[in-house]
Amino acid sequence: MHSEAENKMAEPVFGPAGTPDDFPGGSTEKMPGWLASIGLSAFEYQCGRGVRVGEETARSIGRKALENDIFLSLHAPYYINLANPDAARQEKNVQYVISTVRAADAMGASRVVVHSGTLLKRARGEALKTAMAALKTILRRCDGAGFGHISLCPETMGKTGQLGTLEEVLSLCQLDERLIPCVDFGHLYARSFGAAEGPEAFLEILDTIERALGVKRAKRIHVHFSKIAYTKKGGELRHLTFDDPEYGPEFLPLASLMAARDYCPVFICESAGTQSRDALRMKEIYFAERKRSYEPFSSDCPVP
């Protein structure tokens, strides 16, 4: 069962992660109205350093989002590590996720992004096993607490020492059909030292998701997108803006493929400071590509 926001989503939505530099200021409650005024349709509320939003504020943000037709998601605390085998630590993870889904519920948000975790020097297979068991427990506890309508989104991670290759995230998502992968294309690019970029790599990524989860779920994935600098040593270094000339990935080839396949993702831009402006660029690119792929008589797409 999905929430109302998920059910009515027939179009891809676009928005920033957190507060962009050009937000004219004031409280987060003003964010939905501002985003709508500049043409955006999604917002990812950051609880990266902890869930500090009170229930009243959460409800107020939710009301503003509803009024302005802004799709809301939340990012759970960064320090959650599903792959940590320590029992006390795992119980803490459960509490962190439950407090995030509780805030999400108050906001009327339907998706919560969760980092897969770090390896802690363990073998990838072992770490994945731990994370799968931990996620199962978290799902059971979220259901028990009455938050089963909120989708958890395990995220692909940018550092090579982290759990969260595409395949690992898809394995996690196979545990329950409500799980939605958060495919961070900047992270996949950084952890592959720049290889995961361009039409061929993106095609392979989409095909892999479709094979693992089916076409229907693939079309509704949660997307994080930004350019990211990396080192050959460990992958992700830092988030950049779309104007960065050196690093990738570029959004156009991905938009082109997704538009042709009629994908309907939540697109969250994670550029450093320019995430609202770059989200708008993503929206323009995506709809231009979709128009192109729906245009049977255009010169570069002749009808046989």
Instruction: Name the site residues for Zn ion (rule: CB under 5 A).
Output: 155
Q: How far is the CB of 191 from Zn ion (least distance, A)?
A: 13
Nearer to Zn ion, 62 or 158 (CB): 158
Are the CB atoms for 230 and 247 separated by under 8 Å? yes
**Main-chain dihedrals φ then ψ at residue 6, nearest 5 degrees:** -70, -45
Nearer to Zn ion, 73 or 256 (CB): 73
Q: Which helix (H) or strand (E) holds 268?
A: strand 266-269
Are the CB atoms for 205 and 177 separated by under 8 Å? no
Q: How far is the CB of 300 from Zn ion (least distance, A)?
A: 37
Tokens matching residue 8: 């009515």
Tokens matching residue 30: 């003003």
Q: How far is the CB of 153 from Zn ion (least distance, A)?
A: 9
Q: How far is the CB of 201 from Zn ion (least distance, A)?
A: 21
Are the CB atoms for 271 and 17 separated by under 8 Å? no
Q: How far apart are CA 124 and CA 284, in angstroms?
A: 39
Task: Identify the residue whose tokens are 């919560």.
Answer: 112
CA 64 to chain CA mean position, Å? 22
Q: How far is the CB of 290 from Zn ion (least distance, A)?
A: 27
Burial (CB count within 10 angstroms: exposed 0-12, middle 13-18, buried 19+), residue 88:
exposed
Instruction: Tally helices (H) and strands (E) across the chain.
Output: 11, 10
Nearer to Zn ion, 156 or 256 (CB): 156
Angle 266-269-275 from CA coordinates, rounded to 5°: 140
Q: How far is the CB of 248 from Zn ion (least distance, A)?
A: 18
Nearer to Zn ion, 155 or 236 (CB): 155
Nearer to Zn ion, 183 or 206 (CB): 183
Nearer to Zn ion, 36 or 266 (CB): 266
Nearer to Zn ion, 110 or 256 (CB): 110
Q: How far apart are CA 247 and CA 55, in angstroms?
A: 40
Q: How far is CA 21 from CA 13, 64, 227, 275, in A?
A: 21, 21, 17, 8
Nearer to Zn ion, 165 or 256 (CB): 165
Q: Which SS3 state, helix, strand or coil, does residue 198 take?
A: coil
Report the residue closest to Zn ion, judged by CB: 155
Neighbouring-strand partners of residue 45: 74
Q: How far is the CB of 155 from Zn ion (least distance, A)?
A: 5
